[in-house]
Chains A and B, each alone.
Chain A
Amino acid sequence: MGFLAPWFLAGAALLGLPLYLHLLQRHQTTPRSFSSLMFFEKRTQSSIKHRRLRYWALLSLRLALLLLLALAFANPFINRSAASMASDKLMLLVVDDSFSMRAGTRLADAKQAALSVLDSRTPSERAQVISLGSQLQVLTQATQDPGALRAAVESIAPGDTRASFGELGRAIRAMAESIPTPIELHLFSDLKKTAMPASFAEMALPPNVSLVLHPVAKDVVPNWTIESVDAPAQVWDPKKARVQAVIAGYHTPAAMRTVSLVVNGKSVATRTIAVPASGRVSVEFQGLDVPYGFSRCEVRIDSADALPADDTSLFAVQRADPGRVLFVHEPSDSRSPLYFHSALDAAAESAFVMDTIAAEQTENADPSRYAFVVVSDVLSLPAPFEQRLRKYVQGGGSVLVAAGTSAAHRPRVPVFDEKIEAPRYYASEGQRFLTVGASDTSYPFVEKSGQMAGVKFYFAVQVDPGNAQVISRLTDQTPLLLEKKEGEGRVLLLTSGLDNLTNDFPLHPAFVPFVEQSARYLAGIDNRSGSRVVDSFLDLRTAKEQSIGVEVIDPDGRRPLSLKEATTAQTYQLSRAGFYQLRLANGRQDLIGVNPDRRESDLDVIPDDVLALWRGNTSAPQQATTAIGQPQPESQTKPFSLWWYVMLLLLIAAVAESLVSSQYLGTQREGP
């Protein structure tokens, strides 16, 4: 037995304190003067004897309390042989099932090694099986049951996630805090360099954990992969769509590779490219001829390497007809439709087709046929059309209203239905022009247009915002962009014109992204991608879409969400590679392709010196591996701390002291 901090035993000198209080101070009663002791006799009361008995019990408890306190600080330990400690240690078998373990026979080798370690374990030794991906998955509790342990190892299937040794370190540190016994951690992994965290400290293991590494990949193997694919999620004009892919090689020689674009299982285009040694090359497919609706697409290379699972990259494409836009303008205003149409056409992918119509010809126009309607600075609208337009908005349609000099003569803004307070002619007011002051950048058309910075506004209509939300203001606080919700739809108001007379916005580069993004916003088209990465999270609903059921169908055709989760889950983690079918809370159907993290394709292994540092010694990993299961020499001992037992006794002594002292003090109070 020894003490880890023996100098704290000096605290045992405090034992003198209760001795002084109990034995010396006990006799210091204040004597009283009396006229004569002629009639007194010296007597010892029987109750004093009784009290002294309890007094000694209290003294003993207080002495024990102080002694245990000093012992606890001194941290006593006993040396126990490693053999006796072996039965107390926990064997943790961590098998890496990340995506890279699909290469060759890595996972099978790892499982075989894990089973071998299990077989060499003593029957009384507890073990636990855990699989390692982006997170640790506990497959068994700590048990001595060999059947359960073997079944857990054999059930490990190759995954698509990315291994993280940082996550392993965090989990083991948390586990070691709750498990006082030593932990022997066996890691069966290909020990990729890309699995290491940014900081080595995140991998660090606590002192009571001994790490035994079982590398399943000896050498670096060459691997080609499709690093990224840039493809549209929606296609309106197949001829204009294009797919761009980046082919990367890790530790590969220069080679010719064949890249194919596959749509719904059929190869539609093939390219043969030269990939430089350990380099990257980009390949582009012009045109994406996909049928209407969702299509499952992939870019594939014929790599014939050790990891064929990363030779394809999945993405989903939805083909739809271009949205139709109704542009209503004054007959005399030919600039507005020209600029707006040019901007829509300049935007990629031709998502919209614009119909232009004069205001006076809208008598029979039906807004419900259009994705959204633009009313550009009209003096007046036929009453039936305006009525239909209001109904269209109430039913979920969207309208962009531009209020130029013509609209300034009206008392109210059409459709937007708010009072026009005054037209502001900045050109004649001496200011010449105003720029945008403050903007709400949460709107994509504000953000993408750079908050309309540098645009000069010569004229604006000052509108009472009413219930509308102001998105942008001019520098004199005049509202420039407002949004108003009407029923299920929305009306966007620009308090200036779309021509280049009331402002120079149409001539400004920000006009194109503004028109494109506002058109997408008004038409309800999201900026989404058709592909994701494994372990990323998918937003299932917004804050306004609570308690609405969603549906997720994973690549195996199963529904991973329970009924409760389907109505409450905010996000869903994509844990498998493949195509996921979604029905989101807003009712929209979607299809996304999920690919493994491409960092898994780099099969470069961690250097031996780093691994030695991780293990906490400089011996070779093979030595540690061979040490598994072999009996430890009897002479080898390890300190076993008695701190917990001392603290337990201390707690008991403290409680007993409290009880006895309260009893004693209670007797004293009753005495007088």
Chain B
Amino acid sequence: MVQRFLDPAVLTSISSLELVAKTVVEGFVAGLHRSPNFGFSQEFAEYQAYTPGDDLRHIDWNVYARTERAYLKKYRGETNTLLTVLLDASNSMRYTSHAVTKMDYARYVAASLFYLTAVTQRDAAGLIVFDDELREYIRPSTRQGQLHRLLSGLEHAEPRARTDYAKPIHHFQDFLRRRGFVVIISDFYEQPDVIVRNIEPLRFHGNEVILFHVLDPQEIQPKLNAPSTLIDLETQETMEVTPDYARKEYREKMDGHIKALQDRAQGAGMDYYLMVTDRPLDDALREYLTKRQGRL
């Protein structure tokens, strides 16, 4: 029942991005109750004997009442993490073959990550929207209203222009002064070598880089019933293609591209995750939390 709310097609009927994020995250959290592998920052870690100089606010007074010894209550979540989402807003993200465009799906993923980070874990989160230019930058922060700023940034991120990883990433390397998680959400229509070469420098700053490769099911397995003329959403180039080609050679090329990108990303110490827009959003959250858990 909960899973139904994570269906991207269902989420499109919710107009508020915050509500989408809340629905996704709370539904996802509720689904995790049976799983022992995931924890949150407010989770109890251990008791530590009080030594003078410790903050009195962390003493567990109940234990003191029972044992007349002062112990400090320690929580896991108290380690702060920085999350920066790089969102590809090029025209190719406008494509869809069903109810959810790739851009919407990417927005939901980003919003869910922001909600999970800023509200649930109270970590700092930031957003960079780019295409062939750096279009918007919201620096990571834990200030009041940060979530609203991030969601507003997502809502204003409309697809346009083409994708160019080199120029925007080169610019926002300057903004990433603190180490943290860098999540890049894109359809990655570029040669894997070029992508990894441009993103790799982020990794050198000690960031954990996760590539969320957002693709429509039709992009992976296009179904053409008859010879058709296709228009490239970014270049506006037209091309007559045949069903046979789409059924065989295109699929081979796309699979090769995904495989090459995955291999190249992992080789560069980055995590890669393929997200198909007809699948539930919790996969993205699970991926992120798994990485963050390993980091803690």
Contacts and interface: CB of A to CB of B under 8 A. Distances in A.
Given A29-B229, A34-B233, A43 B241 contact: yes
Interface string B212-236: 0000100100100111111111110
B155 interface: no
Given A35-B102, A36-B92, A44 B242 contact: yes
A364 interface: no
Interface in B238-256: 238-246, 249-250, 253-254
A31 B233 CA distance: 12
A40 B226 contact: no
A37 B227 contact: no
B242 A43 contact: yes
A671 interface: yes
B244 A32 contact: no
A30 B228 CA distance: 8
A564 interface: no
B18 interface: no
A40 B250 contact: yes
Contacts of A672: 225-226
Contact of B245 (A31, A40, A48): A40
A38 B234 CA distance: 11
A44 B240 CA distance: 8
A45 B224 CA distance: 12
A39 interface: yes
A35 B216 contact: yes
B104 to A, nearest CB: 14
Contacts of B245: 40-41, 43
Contact of B232 (A36, A41, A45, A48): A36
Nearest to B187: A35
A671 B226 CA distance: 7
Contact of A35 (B189, B226, B246): B189
Interface in B149-204: 187, 189
Nearest to B218: A34
B257 A39 contact: yes
B238 A31 contact: yes
B95 interface: yes
A43 B247 CA distance: 13
B80 to A, nearest CB: 37
Contacts of B240: 42-44
Main secondary structure of the interface of B (DSSP, over half): mixed
> Which of A35, A42, A48 has the most CB atoms of chain B within a 10 A radius of its CB?
A35
Nearest to B249: A41
Contacts, number: 83
Interface residues of B, number: 36
A39 B255 CA distance: 10
Contact of A31 (B225, B231, B242): B231
A40 B230 contact: yes
A48 B245 CA distance: 14
A48 B229 CA distance: 14
Contact of A34 (B232, B243, B244, B253): B232
Interface string A650-672: 00000000000000000000011
Contacts of A42: 239-241
Contacts of A36: 92, 187, 189, 232-234
B237 interface: yes
A40 B251 CA distance: 10
B189 A32 contact: no
A31 B249 CA distance: 21
Q: In this complex, which of A30, A32, A36, A42 has the most chain B Cβ atoms within 10 angstroms of its Cβ?
A: A36
Interface of B: 92-95, 102, 187, 189, 216, 219, 222, 225-235, 237-246, 249-250, 253-254, 257
Given A34-B232, A36-B187, 9 more contacts: A29-B228, A31-B228, A35-B95, A36-B232, A40-B246, A41-B239, A43-B245, A48-B227, A671-B226
6 contacts: A31-B228, A32-B231, A40-B241, A42-B240, A42-B241, A671-B226
Task: List the 8 closest A-B pairs by CB distance, nearest first.
Answer: A35-B95, A35-B92, A45-B242, A39-B253, A31-B229, A36-B189, A34-B230, A37-B232
